[in-house]
Amino acid sequence: GAPLPPSAIFWKRGAMGKRAAVADPHVDALSRELLTLKEQCSGARMFKAKEGSPTFPFPIAVHLTVPRPAAAAAFDVDDLALKLTFSAGAERAEDNVALGVDSTADMPPQVATAIGSSLETTWRQQLAKRREAATAAGVPEPAGWLLKGLITLVLAKFAVLLQLVPACVEEYMGCDDLGATLRRFMLVLPREPAAGGTRASESGEE
């Protein structure tokens, strides 16, 4: 679908055939949260289901690009491309979200999958804690999605996330902008065992 406008105002056909504006509080909250992330992320885009679908405007997809922070400058990964999916705006927000990371030339699929799984688990836990706190206080669950906290976590743990699959992290000696030699890290596909290595080992034991 096409990107949504910042107002997140949707439309449905009224009884008289006129189109009336209908604001969804969960989508409106999502739009407001995305606006607050402009300084931390680039290329934030939101897509909705086609109008007329039974679950319109859900599912909603959000694409966010989180740039590499200075603390992770030693890694040859410029950013993390997050894909957030919201399947509904009903209660228990933690059951209605999913998170993935795009695999790129600098991001092996194994690492992308590991990062997406780790962030999704943490995100769901944060949403669940918020709901439980609201229930304990006897108030309705808030409509927001805790995106600011999620992106803050990504920036703080950027280097840690890139190392979730140790077999994909390769160290080499490089230079900084001033020409000084320093250790750098790149993400690579895990190396496969040499062909016949196991057989050679077994024959050696004989």
What does the domain layout of the chain look like in residue ranges? 9-166
Question: Would you state the CATH architecture of domain 9-166?
Answer: Roll (3.10)
Rounded mean pLDDT, 110-127: 98
Question: According to the model, what pLDDT value does residue 106 have?
Answer: 95
**Which residue has better confidence, 113 or 206?**
113
Q: Express each pLDDT in 75-91 by its tens digit.
A: 999 999 999 999 987 66
CA 167/CA 155 separation, integer angstroms: 23
DSSP characters over 10-63: EEEE-TTS-EEEEE-HHHHHHHHHHHHTTTT-EEEEEE-PPTTSTTTT-SEEEE
**Amino acid at residue number 85:** T
Question: According to the model, what pLDDT value does residue 148 have?
Answer: 94
- How much is the pTM? 0.81
CA 173/CA 123 separation, integer angstroms: 35
Least confident of 137-141, 180-184, 192-196, 200-204: 200-204
The alpha-helical segments, DSSP class H, found in 37-138 are 109-137
The kind and range of the H/E element at 97 are: strand 97-101
Least confident of 1-15, 66-80, 86-100, 178-192: 1-15
Q: Is the pLDDT of residue 201 over 50?
A: no
Strand-pair partners of 170:
186
Structure confidence at residue 16 as a pLDDT band (50, 70, 90):
very low
